[in-house]
Homo-oligomer: A and B are copies of this chain.
Amino acid sequence: MLDSRTSSAEQTLGYSAIMDETAPRPGRSMFAWLVGASQLLGVASVVLTGVWMGHYRGGFAWDGSGREFNVHPLCMVLGLVFLQGDAILVYRVFRHEAKRNVKVLHGIIHLLALIISIVGIVAVFDFHRASKTPDMYTLHSWCGMATLLLFIIQWVMGLLFFLFPVASSWLRASYLPIHVFCGLVLLVMAIGSSLLGITEKLLFSIMPTYSQFAPEGVLANTLGILLVGFGVLLGYLITKEEFRRPPNPEEEALSVHFKTLTEGGSPTSP
């Protein structure tokens, strides 16, 4: 556990480089396997969504047709599930890197997730407008919209609290556990909304053949199971104490780029 306790100051100066290579790392290989499996599930989910929309639903376009709708599932699975999940995961994968860098990476991946999700939302509303389909009447739309709106609030709050020194240390420390909890809730809500979207799309498109185990139905169901698997693995990796960022008082005290040294409290590591 020695390497995990190494201070950021030492890391910055490279003192711990050799120790990192030689010290025993309990649970490290398990962690690597789980992260690898989660990435496999995440990428497979995005690919399967692409195959479903590309092969079975006629491909992609931006012309108000069903092919514009097809942009929606791909963007949401890529942005609000895969990228949102990985933005959270960087705190575990890079838990021995300088916190500032990880924080910036966390914010950038979330920004990417946000932009892609907004493109996905615009695609479906644009398709509804062109095809005169009513908006926001299904449970999928209610859950999905709630997820996106809360995701935007969470992102803006995260930016104000943790990337720009607007809030006091005490406020940051109080908000951190809420931010972390809401992040996991949002990931679960995004996955749940995706599953609702899959069910909706299948019943709108292939209701007569779905019950005969049409390949498209089986593929979309499999996509749903992969998304659940991604969520379960992410949930495990994020909540397991052993994989958390080790507390580092020295780093907290040195992190002048986020807060002034005159302030009292110090936010704990997420």
Contacts and interface: CB of A to CB of B under 8 A. Distances in A.
- Chain A interface mostly helix, strand, loop or mixed? helix
A127 to B, nearest CB: 14
A185 B192 CA distance: 13
A174 interface: no
A94 interface: no
Number of this chain's copies in the complex: 2
B210 A138 contact: yes
Contacts of A220: 139
A217 to B, nearest CB: 7
- Interface size class on chain A is 35 or more
Interface in A208-253: 210-213, 217, 220-221, 224-225, 228, 232, 235-236, 239-240
A181 B240 CA distance: 9
A215 to B, nearest CB: 12
Contacts of A202: 138-139
Contact of A199 (B140, B181, B185): B140
The residue among A177, A228, A232, A236 with the most chain B CB atoms within 10 A of its own CB is A228
Contacts of A232: 185
Contacts of A189: 228
A262 interface: no
A221 B188 contact: no
A230 B193 CA distance: 16
Contacts of A139: 195, 198-199, 202, 220-221, 224
Nearest to A210: B137
A211 B142 contact: no
Contacts of A188: 188
A44 interface: no
Contacts of A137: 210-213, 217
A143 B195 CA distance: 10
A192 B188 CA distance: 9
A191 B188 CA distance: 11
A204 interface: yes
A224 B160 CA distance: 32
Closest 3 pairs (CB-CB, A-B): A203-B203, A139-B224, A134-B211
12 contacts: A137-B210, A137-B212, A139-B202, A139-B221, A139-B224, A140-B199, A143-B224, A146-B225, A185-B235, A189-B228, A192-B228, A199-B203
Interface of A: 133-134, 137-140, 142-143, 146, 177, 181, 185, 188-189, 191-192, 195-196, 198-200, 202-204, 207, 210-213, 217, 220-221, 224-225, 228, 232, 235-236, 239-240
